[in-house]
Amino acid sequence: MQVTQQVMQLAADGDIGSITDGIKPDWAVFGAIGTKAKIIVGVVMAGAVLFLLGSAIIGAVHIRVGNQQHNTMETKKGQTMVASSLLGLFAVASMSTLFGIVYGFGI
């Protein structure tokens, strides 16, 4: 209950930056790159996420059509598309963590 009151207070203040601060990635060792580079990386990651979500939706359509037509090859194609899209989404979402780990191993 208290969390919703805090969110309502933040929303009432009109400062969206204070709400989104909790979901921004922690750049850790890559925090020294410029703001333009961070924006470019964010846009590329958002584009990749949208592409992969679209691919997962198309895969779900293939599964649906394959099941309706009793076409196992179409269903398998859809399952492969959905699985690979979700794996790609996981990789893109955890990219900053993966880069941090690789950088840590390099030191």
Tens digits of residue pLDDT in 40-55: 877 888 888 889 999 9
Tens digits of residue pLDDT in 79-99: 999 999 999 988 888 877 777
Rounded to whole angstroms, how far apart are CA atoms 48 and 46? 5
Q: What is the crossing angle of helices 72-93 and 95-106, to 10°? A: 60
Report which secondary-structure segment, H or E, holds 39. helix 35-68
DSSP label of 85: H
pTM: 0.62
For the record, the structure tokens of 107 come out as 């030191």
pLDDT above 70 covers what percent of the chain? 65
